[in-house]
Amino acid sequence: MKALDVPALSGRVNDYAGMISPAARRSIGAELERFEAKESTQIVILTVPSLDGDSMEDFSIRVAERWKIGRKGSDNGVLLIAARDERKLRIEVGYGLEGSLTDLTAGRIVDNEMVPAFRAGQMDEGFARGVASIIKAVHGEYKAGPAGKKPRGGVSGPLFLLIVFFFYFTSFFNRGRGGGGPFIYGGGGGFYGGGGGSFGGGGGFGGGGGGFGGGGASGNW
């Protein structure tokens, strides 16, 4: 069976399956950009319609290696990937983050933060919780509790709503000052930015040469 092709890296949020709303793509992308500018850690999201028979683990490591997320030498990249039709999730972790974002922690983020939201049909919330928890883990602040149980240090409901409001407000304010244009669906090719934003087509975004070795965790919703 032919392996699934690796899609083009168009930005920090690559929503080829149309799982994330335009507002959430903008707000999450802006937060990832701010985090990368401050910490140098590079987190990228990818959604695909289907794995077409490929395994999530094989596809995820191919994407991570092709995109080279994270800085060369630091290997501080994270790929958060979702396959819509198979209802599968994975967090792929670069070599340099395996000490803080361990397989156990990545698994708890998938199981406790993302899967419940996805099962409730709240995709935006699931991705936002996943990103916020990955950032906490990189800082050593995420506590990995038992599977299916809300971990200490996770993202609570009120805090999540506050985070989303802040992301949306700052994104709206920045766009009002002449930020990138709206996202437009390109039939058959995923979502592309309508302007010069950092997470749309033509924004000049790319990986920094980071390396991966298969660390991370997968889950289903």
**What's the domain count of the chain?**
1
The enclosing domain of 109 has a CATH number of 3.10.310.50
Longest pairwise C-alpha distance within the chain: 49
3 in any annotated domain: no
Q: Which residue has the tokens 């889950």?
A: 219
211 in any annotated domain: no
Cα dihedral 23, 29, 30, 35 in deg (nearest 10): 150
- For residue 44, the model assigns a pLDDT of 98
Record the pTM: 0.75
- Give the pLDDT confidence of 3-53 residue by residue, as tens digits: 899 999 999 999 999 999 999 999 999 999 999 999 989 999 999 999 999
